[in-house]
Structure 1
């Protein structure tokens, strides 16, 4: 009888947790327009917090430290906006031309393969896959992401308040818990791991973006800065992101320079991403900050469905944050191990 009651209570507990999860996800989906700027502000605040505290440690007042960090952020965003804003508009205006050229070239390849006997019969490319649609997807995504900065003032305000709140957080913990030292250590450990991941990932992504930009500039591909920024952003999505980033650049190279140069661009992308993502990044990250390939793919779909393109870009940082929080407690560490890479220690 007692075992039956225990089983029923566990079943009820599971149903309550499952129902709560569904309600939370539905709420996040409905509040996408509010959550996306908040998460973007949180992500930027985490990146900005080390220099902010470093300036305070050098004896600068809080207000002056805040002003320096905010102006630095605005300067970086302005430079990026100037560099890629014109490119996005120009690329979007030339989309019909690129689509026509790409479809024509691909149909030419199919005709050649048919004549050579490699393909049994002539096929219509659009019935199988329309590669020109990739250009539309890229343009729509870039426009949607750039449209986020229409909420720039709101995001800026949230960053300021988040940075101010972080300063007083330890004092609040001391008042909240009976054992504040343990709580502060746990929060600091979580915060340090999140900061470490985001700092290293941002540095690697910047390096990847710069190398891609320089490489495409040398190759003579149009909009090298735009594709470099895209490589930087999508590098936050391990493995899958680098593949997505190379597709529009390779297709544009086919249209602009031909298949031979497109193959060189493809190889160049693979070399850059192998060095930065598979050699340098694991050495800097160390163990414990990885995710399994399946979890990366699922998180990409999940966060992308809830929060759109920004959710896709932040999918891995968000999932890594959840993993770090789960890993900080003995009760939930088992779930963090499940989220981790295939070769878990």
Structure 2
């Protein structure tokens, strides 16, 4: 009787699948409900992973731990203050100039309607003004800038969390060794995740910085207001795969149209397209080499999924999170097929070749043993 009670229930494959699917649904729902807490914490982890390398360099140069931490904290604080001040000042100036922007947009809409009617197409009165709707366009631009300001408002919480993570980093391997039954395997897997994320984030930050600087220079040459802010937004949105560069283009083009004229808006859109195509198609593949280890479809789906679960922050972290998930899945033989599906075609082909050679070895080794027996 006791032996029957001690037995672990044995579920069929369909039962196990349903249990795992139910657990996944509960996990996703929980993450989405707690996204306002989870997102800053995840962002802190990724920033800490990036900051760990400079921290180690400072330690090797002979700085004590507290001094190295002070330098890292000072740099993070300085960057946060500069970016926060930039957005705050730009938003205040934008609000002051908003009436003139709306007037200019109405004038542009009227000129556009006159141009259309001059080519023989009759339109109702104020058709273009109703279509463009200046208050809605200006409200959209202001909401976008305010949204970035809200994200930056959580920077203090993120920075403090980063510092505490870095303080705990040295003792974490010992804690893992004491807590887990297979600590070395878990530590190796964690180090693999950290190396992959560190490499991706560092290279992506480099290309994003180049994008932001080029956008800043472009808009300064054209004469668009708030060029430093738009460059910063282009830098940040370049971390969002697939659609980030397009989102960064829209408000700058609208402001060029409102502030200057249609020609400036056209030059701005062409300049953005040239920058994004050059960096996205030539610079990033050149410096990233083998890429992020994810297929293009998976990158897009991860953007949609993590954006749904964690909001805007999840869109920024979609690629690193999916990379970490892929590495974790590849470490387990039962979930390795899922990791292969997440990767690009060349990795799947390599895995198939390795699997085929392993099967061939099962036939070769017995034959060799028979030959040696003879």
Same fold, judged at TM 0.5 (above): yes
1:251 partnered with 2:254: yes
Query: Residue in 1 aligned with 2:105?
Result: 102
Q: How many Å separate the matches in 1 of 2:78 and 2:35?
A: 27
Tell me: CA distance 1:207–1:288, structure 2 relative to 1, closer, same or farther (3 Å): closer
Q: How many Å separate the matches in 2 of 1:99 and 1:307?
A: 34
Query: Residue in 2 aligned with 1:214?
Result: 217
Deviations 1:124-170 (A, max 9, x none): 45876758645433432432332244444432221112112222222
Tell me: CA distance 1:129–1:156, structure 2 relative to 1, closer, same or farther (3 Å): same
Preserved CA contact (<8 Å) 2:39 2:313:
yes
Q: How many Å separate the matches in 1 of 2:294 and 2:137?
A: 28
User: Which 10-residue stretch deviates more, 63-72 or 37-46?
Assistant: 37-46
- Equivalences, count: 338
Preserved CA contact (<8 Å) 1:98 1:132:
no
Shift of 1:254: 1.0
Q: Answer with 1 or 2: which has the greater Rg.
A: 2
- TM-score of the superposed pair, with normalisation by structure 1: 0.86
1:238 partnered with 2:235: no
Tell me: CA distance 1:206–1:313, structure 2 relative to 1, closer, same or farther (3 Å): same
Tell me: CA distance 1:202–1:171, structure 2 relative to 1, closer, same or farther (3 Å): same
Query: Residue in 2 aligned with 1:3?
Result: none
Preserved CA contact (<8 Å) 1:145 1:310:
no
User: Which 10-residue stretch deviates more, 120-129 or 320-329?
Assistant: 120-129
RMSD over aligned Cα, in angstroms?
Answer: 2.9
Q: How many Å separate the matches in 1 of 2:83 and 2:97?
A: 21
Query: Residue in 2 aligned with 1:12?
Result: 15
Query: Residue in 1 aligned with 2:285?
Result: 282
After TM superposition, the structure 1 = structure 2 runs for residues 162-311 of structure 1, keeping only pairs within 5 Å, are 162-177=165-180, 179-311=182-314
Shift of 1:98: 3.0
- TM-score of the superposed pair, with normalisation by structure 2: 0.80
Deviations 1:93-127 (A, max 9, x none): 4445434533552454255335424x675594587
Shift of 1:83: 2.4
Preserved CA contact (<8 Å) 1:98 1:255:
yes
Tell me: CA distance 1:337–1:136, structure 2 relative to 1, closer, same or farther (3 Å): farther
Tell me: CA distance 1:331–1:284, structure 2 relative to 1, closer, same or farther (3 Å): farther
Aligned match for 1:87, one of 87, 90, 93:
90
Tell me: CA distance 1:261–1:126, structure 2 relative to 1, closer, same or farther (3 Å): closer
Consecutive unaligned residues in structure 2, runs of 5 or more: 1-9, 350-374
After TM superposition, the structure 1 = structure 2 runs for residues 322-341 of structure 1, keeping only pairs within 5 Å, are 322-341=325-344
Tell me: CA distance 1:76–1:129, structure 2 relative to 1, closer, same or farther (3 Å): same
